Amino acid sequence: MSTLEYKLTQTNETVFTAEFPSLDGNAMEKAKKHADRFRGWFDGVNATDNPAAHAHVSNVATSIAMKQLGLEPIMQLVCRDKNRIAQQADIVSAAMFGVENYVALTGDDVTAGDEPEARRVFDLDGPQLVQLMSTLKRGQYMSGRKLDPAPHMFIGAVENPGAPPFEYRVQRVAKKYAAGAKFLQLQICYHQDRLERFCAGVKAAGLGGKIAIIPTVVLVKGARPLHFMHGSVPGIDIPAAEIARVENATDPSEAAYQQTLEFAKHALAQPTVRGLHITDFRHDDTLDRLMTDLGRVRQVKTN
Amino acid sequence: MAEFIASLEHVVKGPVWGCQMCGQCVLHSTGMTCPMNCPKTLRNGPCGGVREDGHCEVKPEMRCVWTKGYERTQAWPLPNTWKEEFNHLRPPVDNRLKGGSSWINFFTKRDKWTPKGWKAATDEAGH
- Residue B27: what pLDDT? 87
SS3 per residue for A3-52: HHHHHHHHCCCCEEEEECCCCECEHHHHHHHHHHHHCCCCCEEEECCCHH
Read off the pLDDT band of B126 (50, 70, 90).
low
Contact indicator for A163, B49 with CB cutoff of 8 Å: yes
Percent of chain B at pLDDT exceeding 90 = 52
d(CA B119, nearest CA chain A) in Å: 9
Interface of B with A in 12-71 (CB under 8 A): 39-52, 54, 57-58, 64, 66-67, 70-71
Angle at A158 between CA A152 and CA A163, to 5 degrees: 175
Among left, alpha and beta (phi > 0; psi -120 to 50; other), residue B98 is beta
Q: Mean pLDDT by 10-residue block, N- to C-terminus, for chain A (303 residues)?
A: 96 97 97 95 98 97 97 98 98 98 97 96 98 97 97 98 95 96 98 98 96 98 96 94 96 97 98 97 93 93 52
Model pLDDT, residue A189: 97
B109 touching A (Cβ < 8 Å): no
Helix (H, G, I), strand (E, B) or coil at A66: helix
Contact A235 B121 (CB under 8 A): no
How many beta-carbon contacts under 8 Å exist across A and B? 138
Alpha helix stretches (DSSP H) within A26-125? 27-38, 59-68, 84-96
Strand A44-47: give its sheet, edge to edge.
A212-214, A183-186, A154-159, A101-105, A73-78, A44-47, A15-19, A275-280, A216-219
Q: From A165, which residue of chain B is nearest by alpha-carbon distance?
A: B67
Exposure b/e, A166-203, CB count within 10 A at least 16 = b: bebbbbbbbbbbbbbbbbbbbbbbbbeebbbbbbebbb
Q: CB B42 to CB A112 under 8 A?
A: no
The residue of chain A with its CA nearest to that of B94 is A123
Q: What is the pLDDT of residue B5?
A: 80
**Stronger pLDDT, B3 or B30, i.e. the higher one:** B30
Rounded to 10 degrees, the C-alpha dihedral A173/A179/A182/A188 comes to -40
Q: Judge: B116–A140 Cβ closer than 8 Å, yes or no.
A: yes
Q: So what's the pLDDT on residue B4?
A: 81
Provide the pLDDT for residue B127. Answer: 59
How far is A161 from chain B, CA to nearest CA, in Å? 8
Q: Interior CA angle at A34 toward A5 and A260, to 5°?
A: 75
Cβ separation B44–A84 shorter than 8 A: no
Q: Give the DSSP H or E segment for A74.
A: strand A73-78
Greater model confidence, B75 or A23: A23
Across the interface, do A175 and B49 touch by the CB < 8 Å criterion?
Answer: no
Q: In the prediction, which pLDDT does A150 show?
A: 97
Nearest to A158 by CA among A81, A103, A90: A103
Burial label for B80, CB within 10 Å (0-12, 13-18, 19+), is exposed
In angstroms, the Cα distances linking A209 to A15, A56, A131 are: 14, 35, 20
Q: Name A246's Cβ contacts closer than 8 Å, sequence gap at least 6.
A: A220, A222, A223, A226, A252, A255, A256, A259
Give the residue from A268, A187, A184 showing the smallest Cα distance to A229: A187
Please count the helices (runs of H) and the strands (runs of E) in chain B: 5, 0
Cβ contact A235–B50 (<8 Å):
yes
Q: Are A127 and A176 in contact (CB under 8 A)?
A: yes
pLDDT in tens, B12-24: 777 777 888 898 9
How close is the nearest chain B Cα to the Cα of A230, in Å?
11
- Chain B residues with CB under 8 Å of A175 CB are 44-45, 87, 89
Alpha-carbon gap, residue B14 to A286, rounded angstroms: 55
- Contact call for B117 and A143, based on CB within 8 A: yes
The shortest C-alpha distance from B64 to chain A (Å) reads: 9
Cis peptide before A165 (omega within 30 of 0): yes
* CA B25 – CA B106 distance, rounded (Å): 8
Are the C-beta atoms of A137 and A161 separated by less than 8 Å?
no
Chain CA centroid to CA A123, Å: 22
| Residue A33 to chain B, least CA–CA distance (Å) | 31
Return all residues near B2 (Cβ < 8 A) that are at least 6 apart: B100, B101, B104
Neighbour tally for A59: CB within 10 Å: 28
CB contacts of B119 in chain A (<8 Å) are 144
Nearest CA in chain A to B74: A168
DSSP state of B92: P
Task: Please tell me the predicted confidence (pLDDT) of residue A120.
Answer: 96
